[in-house]
Amino acid sequence: MKLETLRKLYVTELKSLYSAEKQILLGLKKMKVAAHHDELKQAFEQHYAETEGQIKRLEQIFDRLGESPKGQTSRATLGLIAEGEKIIKAKGQSDVIDAGLIAAAQKIEHNEIACYGTAIAYAKQLGDHESAALLQQNLDEEYATDKRLTAMAENSINREATYSTGYYEESSEYTSSSSNNIGISLSGLLLGAATGVAVGMLLAPSAGSDFRRKISSQANNLFDQFGGQLGSVSDVAKSLLDKFSAQEGKSGNNPSGPQTQNSPYGAGGPKF
């Protein structure tokens, strides 16, 4: 390939985009079939229709430029779609597969976003503002799709994928294994709870003894539920809690702690 002018590079970029969109059209069809969530299927279906429109806009640009849209293959898209095919063909939990499909689709979208951004910059540089406007419409659709996929992943599908692995159920042996991740997490939670109680008691004002009793009681419930099942970390946490509970019983306050106005919750602490 000879690249002697920016126009040549611009046309090459446009051809690569055209190749990408054609491949994506086929990829979206497969992704829609492979998806399990209705919302995800709809997103792929909607973007399929948008992609058809994007191809038409690109063809308008080629007409304007007097160039053929053919002659370039987007190898990046070939590779990204091949990656996506692995998820499409995967067996396993439906929520996890959907999370993988979103990730695969977003990799493709991000590549398109980069390519459209470049093509728009070249179009503007060359004074091809009409084409730049058409390309911008395509780019806006890619951004919107990417945003929609992110929202779907973060608001529901990634979370559902977390629970659908059965990880929590399968990890019931945490009661006898201190090296288990869940066991470690719960120990950390208990230590955090005890530390929170300690900090809460330090910050609580003299009028907040009721508040102190409540947080102490809630932390104790947590220990009753889980503490006995965990190892030495929870023992440390429990002793920390006991120490501050005893102090509460003796003085009803901690005069050396920060003043009430320093509490982010104001007098009396947070309301439960």
Distance CA 192, CA 48 (A): 48
Q: Where are the beta strands (DSSP E) in the chain?
A: none
Q: Which is closer to Fe ion, CB of 69 or CB of 269?
A: 69
Nearest approach, Cβ of 86 to Fe ion (angstroms)? 21
Would you say 62 and 68 are in contact if contact means Cβ atoms under 8 Å apart? yes
Nearest approach, Cβ of 55 to Fe ion (angstroms)? 8
Would you say 98 and 152 are in contact if contact means Cβ atoms under 8 Å apart? no
Q: Which is closer to Fe ion, CB of 17 or CB of 197?
A: 17
Which segment (50-58, 80-88, 90-98, 190-198) binds Fe ion by CB under 5 A? Answer: 50-58
Of residues 194-253, which lie at the interface with Fe ion (CB under 5 A)?
Answer: none
Instruction: For the chain, give the number of residues.
Output: 272
Nearest approach, Cβ of 50 to Fe ion (angstroms)? 7
Would you say 115 and 17 are in contact if contact means Cβ atoms under 8 Å apart? yes
Which segment (52-60, 83-91, 124-132, 263-271) binds Fe ion by CB under 5 A? Answer: 52-60
Nearest approach, Cβ of 42 to Fe ion (angstroms)? 17
Q: Look at residues 28, 207, 17, 27 and name the one whose alpha carbon lies nearest to residue 120.
A: 17
Would you say 152 and 43 are in contact if contact means Cβ atoms under 8 Å apart? yes
Q: Which is closer to Fe ion, CB of 56 or CB of 64?
A: 56
Would you say 247 and 201 are in contact if contact means Cβ atoms under 8 Å apart? yes
Nearest approach, Cβ of 139 to Fe ion (angstroms)? 9
Would you say 187 and 230 are in contact if contact means Cβ atoms under 8 Å apart? yes
Of residues 3-22, which lie at the interface with Fe ion (CB under 5 A)?
Answer: none
Q: Which is closer to Fe ion, CB of 140 or CB of 235?
A: 140
CB atoms within 10 A of CB 214: 15
Nearest approach, Cβ of 109 to Fe ion (angstroms)? 7
Distance CA 231, CA 215 (A): 23
Q: Which is closer to Fe ion, CB of 83 or CB of 160?
A: 83
Would you say 248 and 210 are in contact if contact means Cβ atoms under 8 Å apart? no
Q: Which is closer to Fe ion, CB of 112 or CB of 248?
A: 112
Residue type, position 193, single letter: A
Nearest approach, Cβ of 138 to Fe ion (angstroms)? 6
Per-residue string for binding with Fe ion, 74-113, x by CB under 5 A?
--------------------------------------x-
Binding site for Fe ion (CB under 5 A): 51, 54, 112
